[in-house]
Amino acid sequence: MERPCPAWAPPVLAIQFLTRIPVPGTEKLTAQQVTTGLVQAVGWFPLVGAGIGAITAGVALAADSLWPALVAVLIALVVEARLTGAFHEDAVADFCDAFGGGFTADDVRQIMKDSRIGSYGSVGLILALGLRAALTLAVIATLAPWAAFLTIVAAATFGRLLVVVLMTVVAPAPQGTGLAKDVASGVGPRILVLALVTALPGLLGFAVLSPLPLLLGVLGAGVFIAWFRALLLRRIGGSTGDCLGFAAYAGQLILLLAATATL
């Protein structure tokens, strides 16, 4: 009889999935426990995102005391890319290449599987990184350090929460295979509720500080999810890992745009 997944595994697997931080103990889990644990780990994504955001914000604010703000922001993004293995940036490039250059569903799937980056992916990644750097610079340059910290953490949390929302409202693409499809197929309302709970530490401070920008961010995310869901269902019949990664990056940009709209 298969042993149930231990309670400690989901948050640890979430850290392992979203970062390059070495975590002990997961090698003792069976394949079935890993699959079950990863489904539950999705609910912990926002809290892990908050941790990533805290590191990025801390590095940016510390570097800002030594170098110009733009240099500080770029240093922070370099540290974050190393921390996460440029996980979401890779998804942005793959998504832009596939949906920009693919005409049929098969084209889109084949391009997303290709490890090479094309013109659509290059332009999309440059613009996404540039916009995020510009928005983070605006946050660092205009807000008090504690407010800037809360804003950057909230954006990182919000992006990972959008991943869970997308998993809940869009089924995996029917042609998908492997662990990613198994995990996404198991995500439902219960996991979404857990994600909303684990998002609270990363969003609560920002909600108190900037309730209107948070509301604008939520409304913007709702519009994005509705548009993105229609796009994915029309083009490939569902979502993939790269689509989810693109949504995570888009979520960060949406909240940063809302936070800086009135600065």
pLDDT tens string 221-244: 999 999 999 999 999 999 999 999
Residues in the chain, pLDDT under 70: 1-2, 176-182
- The per-residue pLDDT for 180 is 63
Q: Cα(131)–Cα(141) distance, rounded to whole angstroms?
A: 15
- For residue 239, the SS3 value is strand
| 148 in a structural domain | yes
- The per-residue pLDDT for 2 is 58
Which residue from 199, 20, 33 is spatially nearest to 9, judged by alpha carbons? 33
| 243 in a structural domain | yes
Q: Phi/psi of residue 239, each to 5°? A: -105, 165
Instruction: List the beta bridge partners of residue 239.
Output: 172
| 9 in a structural domain | no
The residue type of 176 is G
| Helix 241-260 and helix 211-235, axial crossing angle in degrees, nearest 10 | 150
Instruction: Work out how many domains the chain is built from and give that number.
Output: 1
Q: Please report where in the chains the tokens 């295979």 appear, as a residue.
A: 177
| 52 in a structural domain | yes
| 26 in a structural domain | no
- The per-residue pLDDT for 57 is 98
| 19 in a structural domain | no
The structure tokens listed for 35 are 């699959």
Q: Residues 89, 250: contact at Cβ < 8 Å?
A: no
Give the tens place of pLDDT for each residue, 167-180. Answer: 999 999 887 655 56
| 158 in a structural domain | yes
| 112 in a structural domain | yes
- The per-residue pLDDT for 176 is 62
The Cβ-side half-sphere exposure at 131, using a 13 Å CA radius, reads 16
- The per-residue pLDDT for 61 is 98
Instruction: List the beta bridge partners of residue 172.
Output: 239
- The per-residue pLDDT for 178 is 54
Q: Cα(253)–Cα(247) distance, rounded to whole angstroms?
A: 10
Q: Which domain holds residue 175?
A: 38-260
